[in-house]
Homo-oligomer: A and B are copies of this chain.
């Protein structure tokens, strides 16, 4: 099935060296789109965005496949591609993404699972798998009580509210396997399944989780709705080598959404507090400038507008980001990249497989092609051509003077 091929990114790792030059990696989530009927414009093409156009004109453009031709990526694979990873090499499970999504700082070796509060009848049978969809505030109150359950020596247990009846359980300790079966039978009128290890290395974890479930039952016994928990999606962080190790970078993430902050954390980015609004992004970038050379700036709103099928709002998000550019760049960056993790065409109202547009600006360093404005259509004629997304990182590092010559 798999075959031996030289991936250029391994060579990029080998040739990477630390320098003082700074790369701004500005990601508009779901930016890529399709020309609409009539004027053949995309939201990006229709937007008034003099600053992005200037970067495109003085820079180098192209299109990038987040995973490969025809493949529609989730947010995980899309961001792995952005960060220079082969998205097929690391799979990020649902349980981990969920914890990543609540901004929990998951560490290598942690065992994470999602849970539902549920309703059990007097015989212990599940009568409602979602505990009547209790309010998030209720959830927080119950989670506070579950946090009081003592963990065995050498082990830490974290309980986190997600929303409504949903939460996350994290077990931290030495050598804990994560291969545990779901306790959620995905059915009512039956009992929760016992906590069961699926391999020998996960037996200790099973014992810890089993004791926790029993204690939780005791703690919750007088609750009218949420008197039990159902666990699923046990997983651990994939072992992803950090950007510092792979490319000698000192990266920082400026993002508001927990999911993307979590994905950045997976590749070892520093994580200042989330900016309260888009207008605060430049200040957070500036405040974290010292000692950093890679700035991942993530704007979620373009993807949301795409998912809602709202052409004008997507255009407006782009225009709003454009207005931030002068302030974002005020302190100077040797390289500026503007791109997306995937396309979310307004006509599809969903992620799609279409390559994303990208610009790399680095005066005197990149090939200044004839692309004069930034859009999916103009990028077709760009000097970067069409490539897998992970190679965009190689272009950025080279433009920043961070890749040594290969061979004599």
Q: Secondary structure at chain A's binding surface: helix, strand, loop or mixed?
A: loop
CB contact under 8 A between A35 and B367, given known A395-B70, A398-B72:
yes
As a 0/1 sequence over residues 375 to 408 of chain A, the CB contacts with chain B under 8 angstroms (1 = contact) are 0110011111111000100110110000111111
CB contact under 8 A between A7 and B5, given known A380-B369, A394-B68, A398-B353:
yes
In the complex, A74 has a CB within 8 A of chain B: yes
- Whether the Cβ atoms of B1 and A408 lie closer than 8 Å is no
In the complex, A87 has a CB within 8 A of chain B: yes
In the complex, A75 has a CB within 8 A of chain B: yes
Q: Which of A328-360 contact B (CB under 8 A)?
A: 347, 351, 353-354
In the complex, A200 has a CB within 8 A of chain B: no
Residues of B within 8 A of A77 (CB): 406-407
- Whether the Cβ atoms of A11 and B367 lie closer than 8 Å is no
CB contact under 8 A between A69 and B406, given known A368-B40, A376-B367:
no
Contact stretch, chosen from A89-97, A119-127, A305-313: A89-97
In the complex, A19 has a CB within 8 A of chain B: no
- Whether the Cβ atoms of B381 and A67 lie closer than 8 Å is no
CA distance A92 to B333 in the complex (A): 37
- A391 touches which of B70, B89, B397, B407 (Cβ 8 Å): B70
Residues of B within 8 A of A408 (CB): 74-76, 92-94, 97
- Whether the Cβ atoms of A71 and B406 lie closer than 8 Å is yes
- A367 touches which of B5, B14, B34, B74 (Cβ 8 Å): B34
- Whether the Cβ atoms of A6 and B11 lie closer than 8 Å is no
CB contact under 8 A between A383 and B382, given known A76-B408, A405-B351, A407-B76:
no
CA distance A395 to B7 in the complex (A): 22
Residues of B within 8 A of A74 (CB): 405-408
Q: Chain B's nearest CB lies how many Å from the CB of A59?
A: 12
Show 22 A/B contacts (Cβ-Cβ < 8 Å), sorted by A: A1-B11, A1-B14, A2-B4, A2-B5, A2-B10, A3-B5, A4-B5, A5-B7, A6-B88, A8-B71, A11-B68, A11-B88, A34-B367, A34-B368, A67-B406, A70-B395, A70-B397, A71-B406, A72-B406, A76-B408, A93-B408, A97-B408
New A-B contacts (20) at CB < 8 Å, excluding given A3-B5, A12-B70, A71-B398: A4-B5, A5-B86, A5-B89, A6-B86, A6-B88, A8-B88, A11-B88, A34-B364, A40-B370, A63-B385, A68-B391, A69-B394, A69-B395, A72-B398, A72-B405, A92-B407, A92-B408, A93-B408, A94-B408, A380-B382
